[in-house]
Amino acid sequence: MRNWHFNHIDFSTYPHYAGSDLGVTWSESMSFFRLWAPTAKRVEIRLYLEGKSGKPLKVISMEKAESGTWIHQEPGNLEGKFYTFKVNDGEWLHEVPGPYARAVGVNGHRGMIFNPENTHPPGWENDKGPVLKNFTDWIIYEIHIRDFSIAENSGIFHKGKYAGFTEAGTVSPEGETTGLSHLLEMGITHVHLLPVNDFQTVDEEFPLLKYNWGYDPQNFNAPEGSYSTDPYDGRVRIRELKQMVKALHDHGIGVILDVVYNHTWLTKGSVFNQTVPGYYYRQNPDGSFSNASGCGNEIASERYMVRKYIIDSLKYWINEYHIDGFRFDLMGIYDSDTMRHIRYEIDSINSGIFLFGEGWTADTSPMPGYRRAIKRNISHIPGIAVFCDDMRDALKGNHNPRSSLGFVSGLALREEAVKFGVVAATWHPQIVYSYVESSPEPWAAEPSQCVNYVSCHDNYTLYDKLRMSVPDGSDEEIRKMVKLAGAIILTSQGVPFLHAGMEFCRSKEGHGNSYKAPDLINQLDWSLKSTYKDVTAYYKKLIRLRKNHPVFRMPHADMIRKNLSFCIEYKVGVVSYCLNGRNAGDSWDQLLVIFNGNRDSVSVPIPAEKFRIIAYEDEIREDGIDIIEAPTITVPPVSMTLLAR
């Protein structure tokens, strides 16, 4: 019986392969196979006619080659055939498509041999994402492929599919824009897609029977088949994902992929452990698999061939799918050196690709914290950003208990934490860090390292959280809180991140972890856009305001310190600050921003004799709502007031 404890093995002695031809390389006259399996005594390739069932057409013994690899060159045009590798390292392991499989059959059990040229949509060679000067110019919108279009009221024909993103002009029964047209109406710059690589727990033959976010990875380099119109032909999902990317690019929207290299859904049965047992994973001192992911294992990113695999995979998604950015799930599992290597390698292709992730883990790791890409280390990993959970919790309260309050829901003494987020977690002399509960010191070297958000797919939606924590709040009061949260995120420094649907008060019926909840819970209910039309309109104006005024998106920390000063007069439940727009390249010389989280109006002093009121209550008008010539202004409850001159 196989021993799945590895404390007796020194993985550093395994040979390294530096080549770029791992997996299958197709040509019309032959296909070349290379598998890194240094512990193998024998390796077989099994060729199949189908991707699901049937006996092998041929069983081929591979030849041992350099640096722990096995190779075989099979003559003939194998386009459309399927294959598996089967490794014997003293006993036979299971058939797998290999770590580098780029196309797979239904449910990902067999790899598919294909000509990549046959998967390109028309005009693909000229496809490019949007080019923005600074990462702080990005406005990210997080969405799940299925959530986006699966609802009956989406007006989208290809419900729950990649193709749903290519349909323009769709509307809800109430006549509100949906889908791609909604994204264009809002004005966001990039979509962040929850995982689209092949994952385990949704049966691609019957995709509507189960739901999953996709954080259960199976094949990292092949797209998920349940989002395709044909899960059996591995080329179709590739083509449809490219068509989706191109449709978004054609409309000026960039594409960010959520990548989950930190763990695999299966442990012993994973493609990694069925190829080189133990090597790809970290172990506890007793040799058992460690579990910083909370999913049963964690990837050993510090090992040479694991690091190479992650980098090769990212470069493949960039070169083959024209991806514009990556969000790393539980990035705190990765070692810092790997993240530096990733940034360096990606810069060699395109330095405009944004890299960010979660600066934490789900459980403990045997790798010490000082070596990992956690939030407190991020200032020493240039070009990598993390989520600002400090701002998230300051605005709406902690996930637990559900009754926990935040700044927008009326909790006093969250002001310093909000200020911390306003300056994008960079150092600022006017912040009292001892009052910032979650971070006693700044952790970002530059604002582009801070992703400011208040809600994402995890935990409760913003609307649901506020409903739970303010049970006596009227619907009108909850709307105001949602608006204020969006106002703070979209006028703060750093990189703003929006959860799909928060702009129309998205609800998951109070579900706090909907990763496998049904569509009824997870889908975007497009009719809410009509119900909460005022909230949607407010968010749209906020996005336009941010895009039109660079003072809200300064690219460097020293610019923030020079051009942003917090008001000296302290009021409980109020954050106010002045911006020097002229020095930041803005059309406005001076701005005063006031956030009032109280349920009562507050009077705030004005530092000049004459200002234009740009934002007041529900209204935002960049040409001015009114002129104020007074020493103070009354700021309504739970709202942002913005003055400029």
- What sign does the CA torsion over 353, 358, 360, 365 have? negative
CATH of the domain at 32: 2.60.40.10
Strand partners, 13: none
Q: Which residues contact 182 (CB under 8 A, 6 or more apart)?
A: 176, 526, 529
Distance set, CA 565 to CA 368, 520, 576, 593, 615 (Å):
38, 46, 9, 10, 19
Exposure class string for 533-569: b at 16+ Cβ within 10 A, else e: eebbbbbbbbbebbbebbbbbbbbbebbbebbebbee
Name the DSSP class of 167. -
**Residues in the chain, how many?**
645
Please tell me the pTM assigned to this model: 0.98
CB-CB contact of 498 with 456 (8 Å):
no
Q: What are phi and psi of 179, to 5 degrees?
A: 55, -140
The CB-side HSE value for 598 (13 A sphere, CA atoms) comes to 16
Q: Tally the domains of the chain.
A: 2
Q: Does residue 73 lie within any of the structural domains?
A: yes
Summarised one tens digit per residue, pLDDT across range 351-387 is 999 999 999 999 999 999 999 999 999 999 999 999 9
Do residues 63 and 19 make contact, with C-beta atoms less than 8 angstroms apart?
no
Q: Is residue 623 part of a domain?
A: yes
Q: Is residue 571 part of a domain?
A: yes
DSSP SS3 for 47: strand
**Inside any domain, residue 35:** yes
Q: Are 36 and 312 in contact (CB under 8 A)?
A: no
What pLDDT score was predicted for residue 481?
99
Instruction: Tell me the CATH number at 573.
Output: 2.60.40.1180
Q: Say what the pLDDT of residue 477 is.
A: 98
Domain final residue, candidates 119, 135, 163: 119
593-617 pLDDT, tens digit per residue, is 999 999 999 999 998 779 999 999 9
> CA-CA distance, 533 to 582, in Å (whole number)?
34
Q: What is the 3-state secondary structure (H, E, C) of 448-510?
A: HHEEECCCCCCCCCHHHHHHHHCCCCCHHHHHHHHHHHHHHHHHCCCEEEEECCHHHCCCCCC
Is 110 domain-assigned? yes
**Segments forming the whole domain that contains residue 31:** 11-119
- Residue 282: inside a domain: no
Give the catalytic positions in this structure.
329, 358
pLDDT averaged over the chain?
Answer: 98
Give the domain-ending residue among 119, 138, 172: 119
Last residue in a domain, options 69, 86, 119: 119
pLDDT tens digits along 292-346: 999 999 999 999 999 999 999 999 999 999 999 999 999 999 999 999 999 999 9
491 domain residue, yes or no: no
24 falls within a domain = yes
Categorize the per-residue pLDDT at 270 as very low, low, confident or very high, splitting at 50, 70 and 90: very high
The sign of the torsion formed by the CA atoms of 551, 552, 558, 564 equals positive
Indicate the SS3 state at residue 72: strand
Query: What would the mean pLDDT of 164-183 be, rounded to a whole number?
Result: 99
